[in-house]
Structure 1
Amino acid sequence: MSFINPPTSIDELMTRARQLSGRTLGDLANQHAANMPDNLLIEKGWIGQFIEQLLGATAGSLPEPDFPQLGVELKTIPIDETGKPLESTYVSVVHLMNTHREQWHNSLVRKKLAKVLWFPIVSLKGVAIQQRMVATPVLWSPSPEQEAVLRCDWEDAMEKVMLGQLGQLNSRFGEALQIRPKAANASVLTEAIGPDGDIIKTLPRGFYLRSNFTRSILESLCY
């Protein structure tokens, strides 16, 4: 697949994005001579990486939005036929050490979510990857109310990280943001503060947006 130049404006990005709407992933892969995996269990991130390539994203794995020159983050999101998100959405890694300098206003989570291009992919059960269809992409920035919820969750989470209370960051934590392990397997460990203030080894963690929060976003944008 050939390299696509990054868009120079949000209008150009949205024009590219809308041109993909209504197309299947198989059709797009054939058009651009892209190798499509047989299943996503091994290459879970393939769809997102493919769409990034089609739109000219340049950030890769760097800690910044996918289109750094535009300040726009790209998020592909699987939905059902009614537009309901089927899973939570990864945002960024959770810093488990040296967190005292990080505040909400300069956090990676806030930077990533300041402006998001949501790219829904209709992913019906039993439908092959090739037949999954790109729905209408939408550009979103959090409202003051939405940002307040995100900030509250983030600050509560980081306080627990600093106090060594990782055990409290379970599946019930957070209204919009939740924290989950983020590692290829259980042998991948990183350092964190333990409950007694000592350094422990634990699984890396990631921030994820809850599916009910992303559903409210899509619904608010008339999806």
Structure 2
Amino acid sequence: MIKPAAPDNEQELLDRAIALAGMTLGEIAAMHNISMPKDLKREKGWVGLLLEHVLGATAGSKPEPDFPALGIELKTIPINRDAKPLETTFVCVAPLTGLTGVTWQNCHLKHKLARVLWIPIIAERDIPIAQRIVCAPFIWSPCADEEQLLAQDWQELTDMIVLGEVEKIHGKYGQALQLRPKAANSQAKTKAFDKNGRPFLTLPRGFYLKTSFTQHLIYKHLHVS
């Protein structure tokens, strides 16, 4: 299994992604001699890993964009036949400690969302994995209004963490962003602080983009009416 070389520039990356549009995951996997899982319950990240391999991503598990030389993150997004996202999109783990001096301008979340290659995939549950279809990709950076929305949500959620209210945060907070548990199982715990500044253990949290926000991106860039 020879991994394709990393793309030299943004246009080359986009051209590679465009070449996949209309193909099924099964066709793409077969072209690269990659075996397919029976389901994605235990291999939830398989689709993203497949496309990372095919497109020449080099970051692996390092805390940097999937295409470090280009500063571009890859995000696959499952959609239904009407181009509506089927789930929220994980961006990064949310730090629950060590937030002194962290601002929107220097936070990891902003860095991860600076430049994103989005690849929508028609992936309704009744469609077998091998028959799920890759749709037209697009490269995105937040416009001023989108960044303002993300920054406001990040600030609100981060303020609650700093004030020791992480346990009070639920899905209704945030217009574009959501903070929710991100852990392989309920035994995974990380340190946080309560409102009195006392440390305690809680589930790790992750920042996710809400489906209303990613639907806006898809409709805007793919001109879906």
State the TM bucket, normalised to the shorter chain. over 0.9
Deviation for aligned residue 1:205: 0.3
Match of 1:50 in 2: 50
TM-score (norm 1): 0.98
The worse-fitting range, judged by mean Cα deviation, of 20-29 and 101-110 is 101-110
1:101 corresponds in structure 2 to 101
CA distance in 1, matches of 2:3, 2:142: 31
**Aligned twin of 2:184:** 184
- Report how far residue 213 of structure 1 moved: 0.3
> Counterpart in 2 of 1:37?
37
Aligned to 1:24: 24
Q: Secondary structure at the match of 2:151?
A: helix
Paired residue type of 2:55:
L
Q: Give me the whole-angstrom Cα distance separating, in 2, the residues matched to 1:62 and 1:155.
A: 25
After the TM superposition, list the runs of 4 or more consecutive aligned residues in structure 1 that deviate by more than 2 angstroms: none
Quick one: distance in 1 between partners of 2:181 and 2:151? 20
Q: Aligned with 2:195: secondary structure? A: coil
1:1-223 matches, cutoff 5 A:
1-221=1-221, 222-223=223-224
Q: CA deviation at 1:148?
A: 0.2
Gaps of 5+ in 2: none
Asked whether the 8 Å contact 1:63–1:108 carries over to 2, the reply is: no
The answer to whether the 8 Å contact 1:64/1:108 transfers is no
C-alpha RMSD over aligned residues: 0.9
Partner Cα distance (1:73, 1:84) in 2 = 21
- Partner amino acid, structure 2, of 1:100: T
Could you say what secondary structure the match of 2:208 adopts? Answer: strand
Deviations along 1:17-59, one digit per CA (max 9) or x if unpaired, are 0111100000111110001100000100000011011111111
Q: Which amino acid aligns with 1:36?
A: M
Deviation of 1:167 after TM superposition, in Å, equals 2.3
For residue 39 of structure 2, what is the amino acid of its counterpart? N
When structure 1 is superposed on structure 2, of 55-64 and 130-139 the one drifting more is 55-64
Q: Which moved more, 1:45-54 or 1:189-198?
A: 189-198
Distance in 1, matches of 2:188 and 2:89, equals 21
**Partners in 2 of 1:210 and 1:161 — Cα distance?**
19
How many percent identity over aligned positions? 44
After superposition, what is the alpha-carbon deviation per residue over 1:114-154, rounded to whole angstroms, capped at 9, x for unaligned?
11111001012311000001000011111100000000000
Structure 2: distance between partners of 1:62 and 1:125:
31
